[in-house]
């Protein structure tokens, strides 16, 4: 049983290569099926996000050829030449796979250190693979442990508390005011990439009602369809502004779109309930004087950038804590793996010794006629008992071994000393 | 014996405060649970020390300033724990525990003079005093919550977010917690005051008399009822209501100290 990982990420591959090697959900499922039917992997899971494409698997053979087969498969699956793809690929085996995955789900391998989205992506990839029966006992255990690591890192370190992106910083601030956003409403002005990032964050946080408005009505409606929101006519501020608890503006405008009197009227209409405003436009879309209004919280792109910068430094300081959590869980996984390996190797060794015993008796008792079949069976039984007794003590000592690495080393030693290459498989 | 429980109470409360502060910074669920558990232990030890003290002096804890303050601390801890469980919010603990500890410590440093005023006895009277002190404890808690609200609101308005702001409860939750606390205070002070009149009425040969405490209690009740109502209106919700809540508690402190010690003839230490 050996874990293998082949993949690429934003550090090893430019965006052009990452785009070519990314998997849709259907592609991921198909690839996982093919890898198992072709015998390249026994268990498979494909993790594909905008920053990484990775194939995790359990190697049916205890050699490292499956990684090469996996690389070749990736080239053919995505129709990318191997000489173009291979320099971007990394290969990991066994404990390095465990470490890599745990670091990924902890957000330590993310472009934005500690970002929360990756944990959701790992969870989704695992659930899909599990539902399609692509995973087995090893990958199930591995990914459940990875999700646990991710959760603990976010709960127990500042990595999860402090947002790193402009949009997520804004959402975290809104949560400081309202708590969970699932019974709140938001209005997004604009339909550009920044607006899309914010909408995605709002949807991830389960915003109750999402209203969208844009100069181009079609674009607003397209966004509304895509993100299950409601398009509002551009410029109908009297109606639009009294509805939401969160307003995000990211449009190109020379003059402020939302002025102090407009927000004053909106606050009066909403009974002075708190209002959170994010001005992500350049030049600014919201009159800065709005910040002075009662129960109004205004954050501009500049404010949010400053928060993100402060958080970046604070998060960096949390890396050692997160890494120690990762190491703790690696130890737990290795311990589990060692106990599974131990049971497996002892079973194989017992079967091998019994087969050799049978062959030995067959060879030595050929031509010996004074033993009846019952005698031969009795001798066989005695030798089986001897084998069991000989195995008992080493098995007990191995089970009692506290140090996981030592246990695994002993298991490996048994495999090397007593099993042939074929039996090791 | 009582000495042992006093030390146990202090240790449990201090350890709980340490855990609440650690939880505020780290967010570790285990630390938070430990804080709550230690708080429960502190409450139990505090209760036993109050009980031993009452038995030793053959009187209820509110016949002297020491007992009265200690009971206040205990009821504040009870109210806080109920609120923590109801709203599932632990970060407030780091701010409430110092207040509880302050009352507990102070109760052992103030002079041990039992009230010279003869006070009535009986279940109704005991309930009157206990409910009144519970009301003060609930108002103290709402004051802590309002101060937290005002501080967090200021940080958010000024866009100055330190390390702790990310861990504090959301503003609207603090507001809700403060409302719950004031509601508890209003119900208990109304019931406690009514029982006080019943207790006085039952006293043999008691003449009707005026006590400035009546007026102050009525003012406190009206002001908290006003807070409860105003906090839901457009003009007052948010920071203004929180400021009113803090102001109301200043009046409660005056009622508990100046009015009791210098003006009231019958409410020396409660």
Instruction: With a cut of 70, say whether residue A152 has pLDDT above it.
Output: yes
Write the residue in A161, A176, A310 that is nearest to B156 by C-beta.
A176
Q: Nearest CA of chain B to the CA of A312: how many Å? A: 13
In this structure, how many other beta carbons lie within 10 angstroms of the beta carbon of residue A60?
Answer: 16
Q: Nearest CA of chain A to the CA of B71: how many Å? A: 34
Write the residue in A274, A307, A310 that is nearest to B171 by C-beta.
A274
How distant, in Å, are the alpha carbons of A201, A423, B29, B113, B246 from that of A121?
14, 38, 24, 67, 46
User: Total structural domains in chain B?
Assistant: 1
Q: Of A371 and A12, which is predicted with more confidence? A: A12
Q: What is the spatial distance between Cα B178 and Cα B184, in angstroms, rounded to a whole number?
A: 10
Residue B269 lies in a domain: no
Do A272 and B173 make contact, defined as CB atoms within 8 angstroms? no
Sign of CA dihedral B90, B92, B94, B98: negative
Q: Of B113 and B78, which is predicted with more confidence? A: B78
Give the CB-side neighbour count of residue A222, counting CA atoms within 13 A. 10
Condensed to tens digits (0 to 9), the pLDDT of residues B97-129 reads 999 998 888 877 766 655 555 566 677 888 888
Residue B184 lies in a domain: yes
Sign of CA dihedral A99, A11, A118, A172: positive
SS3 label, residue B100: helix
Q: What is the spatial distance between Cα B32 and Cα B13, in angstroms, rounded to a whole number?
A: 14
Are A272 and A294 a contacting pair, CB within 8 Å?
yes
Q: What is the spatial distance between Cα A220 and Cα A212, in angstroms, rounded to a whole number?
A: 6
Do A272 and B157 make contact, defined as CB atoms within 8 angstroms? no
Q: A304: Cβ–Cβ under 8 A, 6 or more apart, which residues?
A: A166, A169, A170, A278, A280
- Return the percentage of chain A with pLDDT > 70, whole number: 95
Do A162 and B167 make contact, defined as CB atoms within 8 angstroms? no
Domains and CATH numbers, chain A: 2-162 (3.30.460.30), 166-306 (3.40.50.720), 336-424 (no CATH)
Q: Does A314 touch chain B (CB under 8 A)?
A: yes
Write the residue in A155, A157, A295 that is nearest to B29 by C-beta.
A155
Q: Give B25-85 as a DSSP string.
A: HH--HHHHHHHHHHHHHHHHHHHHHHHHHHHHHTS-GGGBHHHHHHHHHHHHHHHHHHHHH
Q: Nearest CA of chain B to the CA of A274: how many Å? A: 8
> What is the number of CB-based contacts under 8 A between chain A and chain B?
64
Residue B216 lies in a domain: yes
Sign of CA dihedral B256, B261, B263, B266: positive
Q: Nearest CA of chain B to the CA of A292: how many Å? A: 8
Condensed to tens digits (0 to 9), the pLDDT of residues A170-217 reads 998 999 999 999 899 999 999 888 888 899 889 888 899 999 999 999
Q: Which chain A residues are within 8 Å of B243, Cβ to Cβ?
A: none
Q: Which of A50, A386, A413, A425 is catalytic?
A: A50
Q: For A302, which residue in chain B has the nearest alpha carbon?
A: B159
* The pLDDT value given to residue A414: 77
Q: What is the spatial distance between Cα A169 and Cα A285, in angstroms, rounded to a whole number?
A: 19
Are A247 and A209 a contacting pair, CB within 8 Å?
no
For the record, the structure tokens of B218 come out as 């009525």
Q: Which chain B residues are within 8 Å of A176, Cβ to Cβ?
A: 152, 156, 165-166, 168, 170-171
Q: What is the spatial distance between Cα A425 and Cα A415, in angstroms, rounded to a whole number?
A: 10
Residue labelled with tokens 């999402």 = A210
* The pLDDT value given to residue A200: 86
Instruction: With a cut of 90, say whether residue A5 has pLDDT above it.
Output: yes
Give the domain range for residue B157: 2-263
Condensed to tens digits (0 to 9), the pLDDT of residues A279-298 reads 998 788 999 999 999 999 99
SS (H, E, C) A158-209: CCCCCCCCHHHHHHHHHHHHHCCCCCCEEEEECCCHHHHHHHHHHHHCCCCE
Q: What is the spatial distance between Cα A398 and Cα A403, in angstroms, rounded to a whole number?
A: 10
Q: Which chain A residues are within 8 Å of B172, Cβ to Cβ?
A: 177-179, 274
For the record, the structure tokens of B7 come out as 């030390």
Note the pTM of the prediction, 2 decimals.
Answer: 0.68
Q: To the nearest whole number, what is the mean pLDDT of chain B?
A: 85
SS3 label, residue A399: helix
Per the DSSP assignment, residues forming a β-bridge with A213 are: A189
Condensed to tens digits (0 to 9), the pLDDT of residues A28-85 reads 999 999 999 988 898 999 999 878 999 999 987 766 777 888 999 999 999 999 988 9
Write the residue in B159, B165, B166 that is nearest to A303 by C-beta.
B159
Residue B268 lies in a domain: no
Q: A88: Cβ–Cβ under 8 A, 6 or more apart, which residues?
A: A8, A12, A13, A14, A17
Determine the residue among B172, B173, B235 to mutate to test chain A binding: the one whose Cβ has the most chain A Cβ atoms within 10 Å.
B172
Told to judge if A50 belongs to the known catalytic residues of this protein, a careful annotator would answer: yes
Q: Which chain B residues are within 8 Å of A271, Cβ to Cβ?
A: 233-234, 237
Q: To the nearest whole number, what is the mean pLDDT of chain A?
A: 87
For the record, the structure tokens of B188 come out as 């208990």
* The pLDDT value given to residue A425: 45
* The pLDDT value given to residue B268: 61
Residue B114: DSSP 8-state? B
Are B57 and B63 a contacting pair, CB within 8 Å?
yes
Q: Nearest CA of chain A to the CA of B139: how many Å? A: 23
Q: Does B27 touch chain A (CB under 8 A)?
A: yes
């Amino acid at each position: 049983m050996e874990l293998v990982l082949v993949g690429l990420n934003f550090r090893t591959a430019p965006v052009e290569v990452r785009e070519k090697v990314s998997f849709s959900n259907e592609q991921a499922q198909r690839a996982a099926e093919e890898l198992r039917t072709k015998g390249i992997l026994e268990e498979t899971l494909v993790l594909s996000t905008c920053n990484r494409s990775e194939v995790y698997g359990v190697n049916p053979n205890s050699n490292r050829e499956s990684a090469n087969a996996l690389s070749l498969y990736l080239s053919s699956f995505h129709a990318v030449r191997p000489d173009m793809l291979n320099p971007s690929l990394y290969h990991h085996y066994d404990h390095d796979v465990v470490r890599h995955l745990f670091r990924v789900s902890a957000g330590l391998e993310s472009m934005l250190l500690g970002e929360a989205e990756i944990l959701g992506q790992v969870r989704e990839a695992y659930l899909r693979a599990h539902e399609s029966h692509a995973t087995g006992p090893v990958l199930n255990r591995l990914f459940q442990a990875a999700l646990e690591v991710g959760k603990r890192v976010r709960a127990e370190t500042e990595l999860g508390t402090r947002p790193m992106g402009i949009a997520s910083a804004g959402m975290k601030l809104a949560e400081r005011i309202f708590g969970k956003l699932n019974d709140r409403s938001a209005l997004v002005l604009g339909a550009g990439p920044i607006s899309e990032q914010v909408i995605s964050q709002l949807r991830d946080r389960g915003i109750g009602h999402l209203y969208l408005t844009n100069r181009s009505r079609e674009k607003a409606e397209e966004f509304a369809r895509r993100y299950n929101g409601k398009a509002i006519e551009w410029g109908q501020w009297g109606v639009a502004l009294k509805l939401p608890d969160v307003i995000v503006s990211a449009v190109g405008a020379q003059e402020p779109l939302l002025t102090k009197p407009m927000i004053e009227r909106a606050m009066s209409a909403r009974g002075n309930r708190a209002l959170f405003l994010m001005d992500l436009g350049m030049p600014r879309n919201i009159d800065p004087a709005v910040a002075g209004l009662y129960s109004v919280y205004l954050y501009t792109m500049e404010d949010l950038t400053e928060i993100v910068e402060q958080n970046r430094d604070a998060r960096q300081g949390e890396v050692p804590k997160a890494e120690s959590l990762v190491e703790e869980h690696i130890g737990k996984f290795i311990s589990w793996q060692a106990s599974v390996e131990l049971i497996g190797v002892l079973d194989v060794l017992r079967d091998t010794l019994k087969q050799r015993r049978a062959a030995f008796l067959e060879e030595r008792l050929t031509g010996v006629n004074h033993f009846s079949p019952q005698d031969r069976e009795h001798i066989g039984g005695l030798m089986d008992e001897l084998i069991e007794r000989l195995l008992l003590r080493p098995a007990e000592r191995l089970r009692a071994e506290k140090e996981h690495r030592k246990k695994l080393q002993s298991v490996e030693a048994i495999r090397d000393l007593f099993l042939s290459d074929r039996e090791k498989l | 014996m009582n000495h042992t429980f006093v030390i146990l109470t202090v240790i449990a409360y201090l350890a709980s405060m340490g855990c609440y502060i650690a939880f505020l910074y780290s967010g570790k669920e285990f630390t938070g649970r430990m804080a709550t558990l230690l708080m429960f232990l502190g409450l139990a030890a505090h209760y036993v020390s109050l009980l031993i003290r009452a038995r030793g002096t053959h009187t209820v804890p509110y016949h002297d300033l020491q007992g009265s303050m200690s009971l206040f601390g205990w009821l504040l801890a009870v109210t806080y724990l109920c609120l923590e469980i109801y709203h599932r919010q632990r970060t407030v603990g780091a701010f409430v525990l110092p207040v509880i500890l302050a009352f507990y410590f102070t109760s052992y440093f103030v002079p041990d003079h039992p009230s010279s005023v003869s006070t009535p006895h009986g279940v109704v009277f005991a309930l009157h005093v206990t409910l009144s002190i519970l009301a003060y404890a609930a108002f103290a808690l709402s004051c802590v919550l309002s101060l937290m609200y005002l501080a967090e609101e200021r940080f958010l308005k000024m866009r100055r977010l330190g390390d702790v702001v990310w861990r504090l409860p959301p503003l609207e939750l603090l507001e809700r917690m403060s409302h719950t606390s004031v509601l508890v205070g209003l119900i208990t002070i109304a019931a406690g005051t009514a029982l006080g009149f019943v207790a006085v009425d039952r006293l043999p040969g008691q003449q009707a008399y005026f006590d400035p405490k009546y007026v102050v209690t009525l003012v406190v009740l009206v002001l908290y009822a006003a807070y409860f109502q105003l906090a839901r209106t457009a003009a007052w919700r948010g920071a203004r209501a929180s400021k009113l809540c803090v102001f109301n508690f200043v009046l409660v402190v005056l009622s508990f100290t100046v009015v009791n010690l210098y003006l009231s003839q019958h409410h020396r230490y409660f």
